[in-house]
Every structure is written in C-alpha cells, then in structure tokens.
C-alpha cells in the first residue's frame, strides 16, 4: 500500500504511488524534504504520544516512507524498538540509512508490508502511528479495527488524517482571479473523492475519527492539532517543496481546472518568472495537522472501558 497525494499539505511522511515506472530517487527525496519541513509538528506529536504512553517498548510507524517520523519516534521513545512499515523497499532503505546516520540503527528496524493484507504480520505494539495512510485503504473502519487489534493492553493508536489545507500565498496573488488556492482546493476535493471511490473495497463512511476509533474498540481521546508556520521569506527547501507540490497538482488536476487557473498555475511553476513560487517574496507555508488517538483498555493512564460511543467530555 502506498499513500501520498497533495490535499492541502500533502502527507507528513507517507508515500503514494507504486509501480515499476516510479523514479524512487526523485519521489523519495521529495517525501523526505516534505517530512523534514513538517518535522516541528512530528516532533511535537511524538512528544505528546510519549506523554500518553511513557512505558512503550514497541512502536509501529505504519506508512513510514523515508523514515523521518520513525526516527523522531525513536528519539522520543529511547527505550522502545521502533518499526518503520512501508510497501516500498526503496523508501525503507532510506529509513534505514537515516536511522544509521542518527545512531538509531540498533533500535529502528524496517518491515515491508502491503496493506491491508499485511496488518497481521506487523505484530503487537504499545504505540501505532499512522499518518495520512488510512484514507488510502478502501475500508477505513476495517483498517482501524486491524490496527486496534495489534495494540497491547493500554496501547495507543494515533491517526493523523487530512487536517487543514495548506496556505502559502495571499488571496490575491496578482495573477488571474483572486481566490486561486480556494478553487484549487475545491477541485482537489473532487479528485480525492474519486480516488477514494476507486480503491479496492471502497466503503463510504462518515469520517468522524473519534467515533471510528471508538467503533474499533478503543477509548477515543480529544484530538489535538499541530501547526507548521513558516513565514516569508521562505528557505530554498520550503520553496522547492511548494514547487513540487504544485507540479504534482498540475499533473493530477490540470485538466479539471478552468483555463485561467491552469494558466496561473503554470506561471507559479515557472523557474524564471518573478511571480513563480521559487522567486516571489510573499510565499509562506502555513498548515495544521490533526491527530486522533484511541487507547485499548487494560493499561494505566486515561484508558477506560471501550464502547461504540464517543466518550463523554
């Protein structure tokens, strides 16, 4: 299973496509840069999870991509074995190299698995981190049940899904009609809906994540959102990420955009035009990620009896 698309902020550290024609050197580099850009959020989320499950001895990063989040989890849980799980061996090699470079090689291991079929092979865990992965599985409720079943008593499942669309330009950018990003978001929502409908075993569900976690047999806690806020002027790495993000949108959504917005997108992608994202001074990067958690009954902490209803506030 691969998971990556561009909704607003794209993914924190997962990856998307699979197939023999992929240039993993390019895609892996993009995913690594993206995750490093989101490292402030990932680091805060890992520390938050550490507070919820300080005695964790085994942590799974499901859909790990090149391993940025897995390494941050390994740093935050110094007594735990961390397992980076992904379907692409090329990305797992990047995760291994990253762990070795950071001196984490003895505690971080990699595991190749295609999901959802591979869930049973992942083994038990005290913490499971799944960022921007579940929505790429046709039956999202079944995926949550599968991961909930891997938790040891008191274990915590953390699911990061969607969040807020990224903002990186003003409403009026001096090109085409004002409100370009809002219209781009609307087209992407249609693309996302079609993507979901085309997944094997796709099942419609109301994406109420606390309710879905409770239905999986876990006690859901209030979600927490994390901000990534990079003001202008953007560093070259952040600009390169925005350029790649827009290029992917042009490839995926271009024919669905109206001609004016398509022309605007082409200017933003220009490497020479001062109005392009690689050069314009008003580009920024602002997004929020929401993490939903559920705990399996039987441990210490905030666990309670599991039920199919949302816990009372």
CB atoms within 10 A of CB 251: 10
Return the pLDDT at 300. Answer: 61
Return the pLDDT at 24. Answer: 73
Share of the chain above pLDDT 90, in %: 84
The three-class DSSP label of residue 202 is: coil
Determine the Cα–Cα distance for residues 241 and 245; give it in Å rounded to an integer.
6
- Per DSSP, 206 falls in state -
CB atoms within 10 A of CB 117: 10
Determine the Cα–Cα distance for residues 59 and 156; give it in Å rounded to an integer.
10
Determine the Cα–Cα distance for residues 108 and 85; give it in Å rounded to an integer.
11
pLDDT in tens, 84-102: 999 999 999 999 999 999 9
Q: What is the mean pLDDT of each run of 10 residues along the chain (313 residues)?
A: 37 39 76 95 98 97 97 98 96 97 97 97 98 96 98 98 93 97 96 96 97 98 97 96 95 94 97 97 97 90 40 33
Q: Crossing angle for the helix pair 236-253 and 259-269, nearest 10 degrees?
A: 150
Determine the Cα–Cα distance for residues 13 and 98; give it in Å rounded to an integer.
14
Distance of CA 233 to the CA centre of its chain: 25
pLDDT in tens, 290-310: 999 999 998 765 533 333 333
Given a contact cutoff of 8 angstroms between Cβ atoms, the answer to whether 66 and 95 are in contact is: yes
Return the pLDDT at 23. Answer: 73
Distance of CA 292 to the CA centre of its chain: 12
Return the pLDDT at 165. Answer: 93
- Per DSSP, 281 falls in state T
CA angle centred on 202, ends 197 and 205, rounded to 5°? 95
pLDDT in tens, 7-36: 333 333 333 344 445 677 778 888 999 999
Instruction: Tell me the helix, strand and coil percentages in the chain, rounded to 5.
Output: 40, 20, 40
Given a contact cutoff of 8 angstroms between Cβ atoms, the answer to whether 159 and 224 are in contact is: no
Nearest residue to 243 via CA among 48, 37, 102? 37
Return the pLDDT at 306. Answer: 36
């Amino acid at each position: 299973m691969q998971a990556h698309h561009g909704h607003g902020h794209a993914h924190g550290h997962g990856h998307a496509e699979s197939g023999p024609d992929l240039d993993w050197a390019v895609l892996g580099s993009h995913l690594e840069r993206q995750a490093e850009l989101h490292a402030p959020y990932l680091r805060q989320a890992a520390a938050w999870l550490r507070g919820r499950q300080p005695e964790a001895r085994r942590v799974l990063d499901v859909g790990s991509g090149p391993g940025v989040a897995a390494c941050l989890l390994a740093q935050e849980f110094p007594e735990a074995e961390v397992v980076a799980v992904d379907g692409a061996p090329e990305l797992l090699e990047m995760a291994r190299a990253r762990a070795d470079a950071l001196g984490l090689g003895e505690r971080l291991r990699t595991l190749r698995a295609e999901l959802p079929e591979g869930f049973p092979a992942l083994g038990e865990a005290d913490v499971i981190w799944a960022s921007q992965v579940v929505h790429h599985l046709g039956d999202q409720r079944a995926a949550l049940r599968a991961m909930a079943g891997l938790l040891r008593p008191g274990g915590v499942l953390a699911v990061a899904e969607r969040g807020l669309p990224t903002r990186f330009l003003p409403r009026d950018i001096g090109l085409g009609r004002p409100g370009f990003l809002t219209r781009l978001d609307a087209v992407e929502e249609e693309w996302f809906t079609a993507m979901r409908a085309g997944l094997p075993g796709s099942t419609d569900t109301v994406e109420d994540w606390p309710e879905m976690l409770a239905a999986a047999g876990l006690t859901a806690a209030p979600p927490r959102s994390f901000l990534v806020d990079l003001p202008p002027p953007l560093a070259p790495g952040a600009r390169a990420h925005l350029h790649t993000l827009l290029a992917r949108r042009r490839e995926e959504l271009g024919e669905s955009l109206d001609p004016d917005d398509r022309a605007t997108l082409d200017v933003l992608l220009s490497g020479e035009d001062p109005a392009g994202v690689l050069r314009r001074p008003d580009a920024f990067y602002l997004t929020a990620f929401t993490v939903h958690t559920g705990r399996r009954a039987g441990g210490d902490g905030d666990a309670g009896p599991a039920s199919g209803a949302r816990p009372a506030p």
